[in-house]
Amino acid sequence: MQNYPSIFNDVIGPVMRGPSSSHCAASLRIARICRDLMDENIKEILIEFDPNGSLATTHKSQGSDMGLFGGFLGWEAYDERLPESEKYLATAGMNYTIRICELDEKHPNTYKINLTSEKESRELIAISTGGGMIEVIYIDGNRVSIAGDYYETLIYCTDFDSIISYLKSAITYDDIIVHEGAISFLEIKSQNSIPEIICQEINQMNTVTAIKSMKPVLPIMARQNLSVPFITCHEMLEYNKGKNKALWELAVAYESMRGNISEEMVFEKMRAIIQIMGNAIETGLKGTSYTDRILGSQSPQFKKSLESNQLIGGDVLNKTIMYVSAIMEVKSSMGVIVAAPTAGSCGGLPGVVFGTAHCINNHEDAIIKAMLSAGLIGVFIAAHATFAAEVGGCMAETGSGGGMAAAALVEMNGGSLEQSIAAASLALQNSLGIICDPIGNRVEAPCLGRNVMAASNAISCANMALSNYEHLIPLDEVIETMKAVGDQIHHTLRCTNLGGLSITNTAKKIEALLEENPPVFFKSC
């Protein structure tokens, strides 16, 4: 089935706390679905991770546990209580066990979760696909595909025909799927929850044993016969013949059709997002503190150096470095950030867009247009490659962010659509093969430096494109190459804490110190 990403689901978002969107936000969304599956009544939880996946070594330090616990409690991804979610889980009477064991599913971000209450047990298997996006792939042994973008109703029963006949006459729905196995159920995908009175009538049928209602966890919903105006860069250029739309206008047209929302709503949703990004910059520059991190608050000192003319380079580059650092420090101190396209790469794109805008005195609407432009480049990446470092290395995160940012900067500086595409292609070409190897198993270093590198790359490539440098390889082919290169990166270099800088002597010492005595701010000798 063709994947039609949403700018607000897959690319710019979620609004969240935590070090990693593919760990924190995704696990929270998975657990929210678990909570609904159990009618909000959970007593025992068994969570299993495969030893060869990413989560076996990162689930605690990169926030999967925190996100899961928050989701089991029904919280949002930006809830200020998330860092203490384990304590709240215990208070709520939920007990959990985490076990590392061989799983049949080999996706590196696989969650196998068994849930028990006083009256029932359920099993759910889900994967985190990058940037906070998820897919539930099994429920009670039955293969499903639940992304959290529908109201989902499961009717556990032994006689499908009579219930389907009743549903067709009683409700409006997008799809009804029969799942037959040791435990059988009907899955109903719909735009709204099934009315309680209908559920009560179905529940009274002799063949029905349970009804489960699961709410969407994504801001933009899917729908039956969903279509978009284009899904590749080539298709976009064909669509734009005779229209002469700018990249940001094409982004608005795409997201309006994808989300079935007005173009005005698309623009205003992005306005709300960039205001959160701007708040993160302001918060970071005031200084941040948090116990469990390895880097202290550095952006305020950079600000002092910049103001006293101690730094090399121009205003745009230095302001960008400062803003990227500020956002990353807010992320590492459990402040509210926007995954753009992920939490691990949340600084590069907004840092350089805001940094450039503030240097050339661009107003808020210009930032919105730039971010929409970036979002559409991200749609092509999400549809044909990945944002998950566990699948594609840091190339998938900061590399993608840099490519998106390059296109945004060209748009912001009045460049053409073709120049924006060229900038994105150049920046992504420069990012092929970057590995993911966090030091101390924390998403801080070299993540900060790679966000700065992505932003710097974006500035360079934007200027090259504005000067009509030849990018040679079409954007679609570069994105295809990203996918192929990501598949070839060894699993130890894809956010597993098993390779690269993660296994240097110093990194292992830092990791041990964090485990024994969290935490300390580290300086190299």
- The two tokens of residue 229 are 């105006």
What is the model's pLDDT at position 181?
Answer: 93
Residue 524 has pLDDT above 50, yes or no: no
Rounded Cα–Cα distance for residues 325 and 307 (Å):
16
CATH 1.10.260.40 corresponds to the domain 7-214: no
Contacts of 108 (CB under 8 A, 6+ apart): 52, 53, 54, 55, 388, 390, 391, 491, 494, 495, 496
- Is residue 380 predicted with pLDDT exceeding 90? yes
Element (H, E) at 220: none
- CA neighbor of 80 nearest in space, from 139, 129, 147, 17: 17
| pLDDT given for residue 518 in this prediction | 52
| pLDDT tens by residue, 145-179 | 999 999 999 999 999 999 999 999 999 999 999 99
Confidence at residue 12, expressed as pLDDT on a 0 to 100 scale: 98
Spatial separation of the C-alpha atoms in residues 194 and 54, rounded to whole Å: 37
Q: How would residue 138 be classed by pLDDT, with cut points 50, 70 and 90?
A: very high
Residue 517: the pLDDT is: 63
Q: What is the mean pLDDT of residues 364-393?
A: 97
8 Å CB contact between 371 and 408 = yes
Q: Which residues make up the CATH 3.30.1330.90 domain(s) of the chain? A: 7-214
Contacts of 470 (CB under 8 A, 6+ apart): 422
pLDDT at 523: 45
Q: What is the mean pLDDT of residues 341-360?
A: 97
Cα 31 to Cα 288: distance, rounded to the nearest angstrom? 29
Q: Is there a contact between 397 and 436 (Cβ–Cβ < 8 Å)? A: yes
Q: What stretch(es) of the chain map to CATH 1.10.4100?
A: 246-516
Residue 520 binned pLDDT confidence (cut-offs 50, 70, 90): very low
Mean pLDDT, to the nearest integer, of 195-218? 96
Rounded Cα distance between 283 and 380, Å, is 32
Q: What is the CATH number of domain 246-516?
A: 1.10.4100
Q: What confidence score (pLDDT) does residue 105 get?
A: 94
Average pLDDT along the chain: 95
User: What's the mean pLDDT in 295-324?
Assistant: 95
CB 368 within 8 A of CB 421: no
Residue type, 147: A
pLDDT at position 2 is: 76
User: Mind listing the pLDDT tens digit for each residue in 235-244?
Assistant: 999 999 999 9
Residue 457 and residue 430 in contact, taking contact as beta carbons nearer than 8 Å: yes
Q: Does the structure show a pLDDT above 50 at 143?
A: yes
Q: List alpha helices for 335-446, DSSP H.
A: 348-359, 364-384, 389-392, 398-412, 417-429
Among 457, 447, 451, CA closest to 407 = 457
The answer to whether residue 525 scores a pLDDT higher than 50 is no
What pLDDT, in 10s, does the model give residues 449-481?
999 999 999 999 999 999 999 999 999 999 999
Q: Rounded mean pLDDT of 317-339?
A: 97
> Is pLDDT at 521 greater than 50 in this prediction?
no
Mean of the pLDDT values across residues 198-219? 96
- The predicted model gives 93-109 an average pLDDT of 96
- What pLDDT shows up at residue 291? 85
How far, in Å, CA of 164 to CA of 54, rounded? 41
- Is the peptide bond prior to 518 cis by the omega test (within 30 degrees of 0)? no
Contact 456, 317 (CB under 8 A): yes
- Could you give the count of Cα atoms lying within 13 Å of 443 in the half-sphere of its Cβ? 37
What whole-number percentage of the chain has pLDDT above 70? 98
| pLDDT band at residue 299 using 50, 70 and 90 as cut-offs | very high
Segment 19-54, tens digit of pLDDT:
999 999 999 999 999 999 999 999 999 999 999 999
Helix pair 315-332, 263-285: axis angle to 10 deg = 90
For residue 155, what are the β-bridge partners? 186, 211
